[in-house]
Amino acid sequence: MDPESEGPQIIKVTPLQQMLASCSGAILTSLMVTPLDVVKIRLQAQNNPFSKGKCFVYSNGLMDHLCVCEEEGNKAWYKKPGRFQGTLDAFLKIVRNEGIKSLWSGLPPTLVMAVPATVIYFTCYDQLSALLRSKLGENESHIPIIAGIVARFGAVTVISPLELIRTKMQSKKFSYKELHQFVSKKVSEDGWISLWRGWAPTVLRDVPFSAMYWYNYEVLKKWFCAKSGLYEPTFMINFTSGALSGSFAAVATLPFDVVKTQKQTQLWIYESHKISIPLPMSTWTIMKNIVAKNGFAGLFTGLIPRLIKIAPACAIMISTYEFGKAFFQKQNTRRQQY
């Protein structure tokens, strides 16, 4: 190996810098994508008012969260009357009548989960990729798939019980003592594994998404660089590669997303109404039921809203993350020179 090819490898971005870059990307992504979901939920609530105990999915661009409707008259942000005529009208009326801050309603509690999950995911992906490249060689095409699978698997496993606790806290104002009692009771009755209820459908959706996303992202990035005659990708190349690979992965994993939402919602209904939970239905059984009821198209319900949410989220997150890493790399280079 000649010294020139060794040069760029010496100046690395540290894990802490990767965490900072992914944290910045996560916050920026949620700030830019959340208003789309807030408007969508407000329109949903207007067309089909949420009753007490009904749950809905809230997305901040990083994670989907199950939120439960509380009985607060029209005080809750998603129940405020608006008389919206459509998406654009809803945007304008919310900003004009309630202030621009209302576009980020409900965001802070979800960031407590979403930002750490994103930081774990992106940092693990980069660390695993670097390790695998050092063992298998720079041009091994399976590295993004392996690193993507392992990183996502780890992030989902760490966050899954915390998300269960967050949903419980949101549905009823628990003190920390009551929360501890709830967790202890759940563990003593159903075992530790019960804290990971809902983990399997999340893994089935997120792990294949991650494998497809990272593989296509790396391929597209190289292809755009080759077409542009560039050695390093620009911000726009990262942005476009992220949007395209995210869109493809979103379409391919949509049936698992439909199943996950259905499973989460059913589970919440059983638990909140104190109904004994029937034998858990497998993902395959739920899919067969959906196809029997709504046809094959039923598995692709909500395709356009999912694409509208995921394409910009993936594009903003990855381009900001890569920009952050490039910034730290320049800082490290300067430090090495002086």
Please say if the pLDDT value at position 275 is more than 80: no
The pLDDT assigned to 279 comes to 52
Q: What is the mean pLDDT of residues 182-209?
A: 80
Other residues' Cβ atoms within 10 Å of the Cβ of residue 193: 9
On whether residue 45 sits in a domain, the answer given is no
- The string of pLDDT tens digits covering residues 200-240 is 778 888 999 999 999 999 999 999 999 999 989 999 999 99
Percentage of the chain modeled with pLDDT above 70: 85
The pLDDT assigned to 9 comes to 46
Please say if the pLDDT value at position 326 is more than 90: yes
Q: Which long-range contacts (CB under 8 A, 24 or more apart) does 56-59 make?
A: 57/261, 57/264, 58/106, 58/110, 59/33, 59/34, 59/309
Produce one character per residue of 30-58: b if its CB has 16 or more CB atoms within 10 Å, e if not.
bbbbbbbbbbbbbbebbeeebeeebbbbb
On whether residue 10 sits in a domain, the answer given is no
On whether residue 240 sits in a domain, the answer given is yes
Distance of CA 293 to the CA centre of its chain: 29
Please say if the pLDDT value at position 43 is more than 90: no
Please say if the pLDDT value at position 190 is more than 70: yes
Q: Return the amino acid letter for 153.
A: F
User: How many folded domains does the chain comprise?
Assistant: 1
Of 6-10, 46-50, 266-270, where does the model show the most confidence? 46-50
Could you tell me the residue range of the domain that residue 235 belongs to?
Answer: 213-323
On whether residue 277 sits in a domain, the answer given is yes
On whether residue 269 sits in a domain, the answer given is yes
H or E, element range at 24: helix 15-47
On whether residue 154 sits in a domain, the answer given is no
The pLDDT assigned to 215 comes to 97
The pLDDT assigned to 7 comes to 38
On whether residue 207 sits in a domain, the answer given is no
Place of tokens 């009771």: 185
Q: What is the mean pLDDT of residues 289-307?
A: 84
pLDDT band at 303, cuts 50/70/90? confident
Residues 125, 207: Cα–Cα separation, whole Å: 12
Q: What is the mean pLDDT of residues 153-179?
A: 72
- The string of pLDDT tens digits covering residues 63-117 is 887 777 766 556 778 888 878 888 889 999 999 999 999 999 888 878 888 899 9
The pLDDT assigned to 6 comes to 40
Which residues does residue 56 pair with via DSSP β-bridges, in sequence order?
67
Total-model pTM: 0.83
Please say if the pLDDT value at position 3 is more than 50: no
* Maximum alpha-carbon separation in the chain: 70
Lowest mean pLDDT among 8-17, 116-125, 206-215: 8-17
Of 43-47, 62-66, 134-138, where does the model show the most confidence? 134-138
- List Cβ neighbours of 327 (8 Å cut-off, separation of 6 or more): 21
Q: Is-contact 143 133, C-beta < 8 A?
A: yes
On whether residue 225 sits in a domain, the answer given is yes
The pLDDT assigned to 4 comes to 38
CA atoms within 13 A on the CB side of 271: 17
Q: Is-contact 317 246, C-beta < 8 A?
A: no
Percentage of the chain modeled with pLDDT above 90: 42
